[in-house]
């Protein structure tokens, strides 16, 4: 989706602090809801278990006072059996003999008796009495009689008001505690998050308070989680400082180098306009052409030098076949060779298989063009040999330019690598050719060297690392 504010514009989204607080609040809310449900279920179970124990105990007291005598079931219901039950609940009971006849209690209370389960002990189950939900305890007491059901059955029932009130009271108290703790936890989390995000504020303040010309690395103590962010900012400022220094150097070089030839060109034009003699005008016109060519060569070298410096750390390297690049550049040079007064014999020796390196094709072309240009214009008298060799053992490619010209004296080999170093009269430009080659080789992890071979021919050698297969 396109950025509505345009490319390169940072849109302020929701606050990170607000996001974290919102998410923590949601987590706490969900946790509190789950906890409340768990507590509600637990209180229901606890109330049911406690009241069931009381109900079963009361029923057992009645059963203990039930006996068989003179062919009949007798019962003496103790008052203590009902004193333990909740006062706010309705209580009803019934005692049945083995034939199902009511011996004591409420004759209208006719619960269904599970005769086949009475031997298992007190039975607790839900039921109803006059449309009221009740909880019942059913206990069988074996009587000395013959028959399919030798049991006197005691059924004690109680409505659920007490246990429901008890569970509700526990749940309400738990809810109040959870709500208070949740609010306190959210407040504590908000304060903790504010403190945890304080380093971001310090980084922001450190950047805002900086002078526009201060691109030195930030020196702040930050948590480990933001260390990568600060390192990235410092790395970016370092690259920006390098580019700004490069820009200033290029502008300074251009201003310094162009001032004299531009002044000379203007002066020559004024002399030409003041000259009335035709022969004099022709002489001044020829000088004007020469100074214009020199100025054009100077501007081209300055632009190429700035371009190479810029690309050295801003362009991604790619896989390049140096042999193909060399042949292509040689063809381009040969196509313009007819313009030269000297036309030496050319020879290119390069492997047929690809000679792969990681590099910037534009910068490498500029380097090869500068070496060839120097050799053709100031070096080679009758021949120029360009040889590309692979050296897998050393992991490098060697590109040599061999000519039969006078070459460069050994004492000058270090000096001529520097920009704006004059090397003799009659040369146009800013003497940046070999400086550009040096910059390109350094950017590619290679080297530039000079030598004389056994035949006394001058050799310029470019060494570049091979691409590992």
Q: Is the pLDDT of residue 122 over 80?
A: yes
The single residue listed with the structure tokens 């940072």 is 10
| DSSP 8-class letter at 382 | S
Instruction: Return d(Cα 154, Cα 139) in angstroms, integer.
Output: 5
The Cβ of residue 19 has, within 10 Å, a number of other Cβ atoms equal to 12
Instruction: Return d(Cα 279, Cα 15) in angstroms, integer.
Output: 80
Tokens encoding 161: 């008001």
**Strand 383-391 vs strand 345-349: parallel, antiparallel, or unpaired?**
parallel
The band of 5, judged by pLDDT with boundaries at 50, 70 and 90, is very low
pLDDT tens-digit readout, 370-392: 888 888 877 777 888 999 999 88
**Strand 72-75 vs strand 123-129: parallel, antiparallel, or unpaired?**
unpaired
pLDDT tens-digit readout, 145-159: 887 888 899 999 998
Residue 150: closest CA among 96, 222, 79 = 96
Instruction: Return d(Cα 419, Cα 305) in angstroms, integer.
Output: 9
- Helix locations, 197-352, DSSP H: 198-208, 224-274, 278-311, 322-335
Tokens encoding 444: 């590619």
| DSSP 8-class letter at 166 | H
Q: What's the sign of the alpha-carbon dihedral 59, 65, 67, 70?
A: negative
Q: Is the pLDDT of residue 102 over 70?
A: yes
Instruction: Return d(Cα 412, Cα 371) in angstroms, integer.
Output: 16
The Cβ of residue 22 has, within 10 Å, a number of other Cβ atoms equal to 12
Tokens encoding 396: 């490098």
The Cβ of residue 354 has, within 10 Å, a number of other Cβ atoms equal to 13
The most distant pair of C-alpha atoms in the chain lies apart, rounded to whole Å, by 167
356 with 322: CB under 8 angstroms? Answer: yes
Tokens encoding 216: 């030195």
Instruction: Return d(Cα 120, Cα 277) in angstroms, integer.
Output: 142
Total residue length of the chain: 469
Q: Is the pLDDT of residue 106 over 90?
A: no
Structure pTM? 0.48
The whole-angstrom distance between residue 283's C-alpha and the CA centroid of its chain comes to 69
CATH of domain 315-465: 3.30.565.10
Query: Where are the domains positioned within the chain?
Result: 12-196, 212-311, 315-465
Q: Higher model confidence: residue 12 or residue 269?
A: 269
pLDDT tens-digit readout, 231-264: 888 888 887 777 777 677 666 666 655 666 777 7
Residue 354: closest CA among 320, 391, 394, 328 = 320
pLDDT tens-digit readout, 257-315: 566 677 777 777 777 777 777 777 787 787 778 777 767 766 766 666 666 666 666 67
pLDDT tens-digit readout, 157-184: 998 888 888 888 888 888 888 888 888 8
């Amino acid at each position: 989706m396109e950025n509505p504010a345009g490319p390169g514009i940072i849109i302020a989204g929701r606050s990170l602090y607000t996001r974290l607080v919102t998410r923590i609040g949601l987590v706490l809310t969900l946790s509190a809801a789950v906890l409340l449900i768990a507590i509600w279920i637990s209180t229901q179970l606890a109330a049911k278990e406690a009241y069931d124990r009381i109900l079963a105990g009361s029923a057992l007291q009645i059963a203990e006072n039930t006996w068989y005598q003179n062919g009949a079931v007798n019962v003496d219901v103790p008052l203590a059996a009902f004193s333990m039950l909740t006062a706010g609940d309705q209580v009803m009971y019934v005692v049945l003999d083995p034939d199902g006849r009511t011996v004591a209690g409420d004759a209208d209370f006719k619960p269904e008796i599970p005769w086949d389960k009475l031997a298992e002990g007190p039975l607790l189950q839900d039921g109803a009495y006059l449309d009221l939900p009740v909880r019942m305890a059913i206990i069988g007491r074996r009587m000395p009689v013959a028959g399919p059901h030798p049991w006197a059955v005691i059924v004690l029932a109680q409505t659920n008001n007490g246990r429901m009130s008890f569970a509700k009271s526990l749940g309400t108290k738990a809810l109040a505690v959870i709500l208070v703790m949740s609010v306190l936890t959210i407040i504590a989390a908000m304060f903790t998050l504010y403190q945890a995000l304080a380093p971001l504020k310090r980084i922001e303040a450190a950047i805002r308070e900086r002078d526009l010309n201060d691109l030195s690395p930030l020196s702040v103590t930050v948590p480990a989680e933001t260390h990568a962010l600060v390192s990235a900012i410092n790395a970016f400022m370092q690259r920006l400082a390098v580019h700004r220094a490069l820009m200033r150097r290029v502008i300074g070089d251009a201003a310094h180098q162009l001032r004299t030839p531009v002044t000379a060109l203007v002066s020559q034009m004024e002399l030409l306009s003041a000259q009335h003699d035709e022969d004099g005008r022709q002489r001044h016109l020829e000088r004007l052409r020469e100074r214009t060519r020199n100025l054009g060569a100077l501007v081209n070298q300055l632009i190429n030098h700035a371009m190479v410096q810029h690309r050295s750390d801003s362009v991604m390297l790619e896989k390049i076949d140096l042999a193909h690049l060399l042949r292509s550049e040689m063809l381009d040079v040969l196509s313009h060779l007819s313009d030269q007064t000297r036309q030496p014999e050319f020879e290119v020796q390069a492997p047929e298989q690809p000679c792969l390196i990681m590099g910037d094709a534009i910068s490498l072309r500029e380097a090869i063009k500068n070496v060839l240009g120097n050799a053709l214009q100031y070096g080679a008298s009758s021949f120029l040999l360009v040889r590309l060799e692979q050296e897998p053992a050393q992991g490098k490619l060697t590109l040599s330019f061999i000519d039969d010209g006078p070459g460069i004296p050994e004492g000058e080999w270090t000096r001529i690598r520097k920009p704006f170093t004059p090397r003799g009269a009659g040369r146009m430009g800013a003497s940046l050719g070999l400086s550009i080659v040096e910059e390109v080789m350094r950017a590619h992890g290679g080297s530039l060297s000079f030598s004389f071979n056994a035949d006394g021919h001058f050799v310029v050698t470019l060494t570049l690392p091979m691409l590992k297969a």
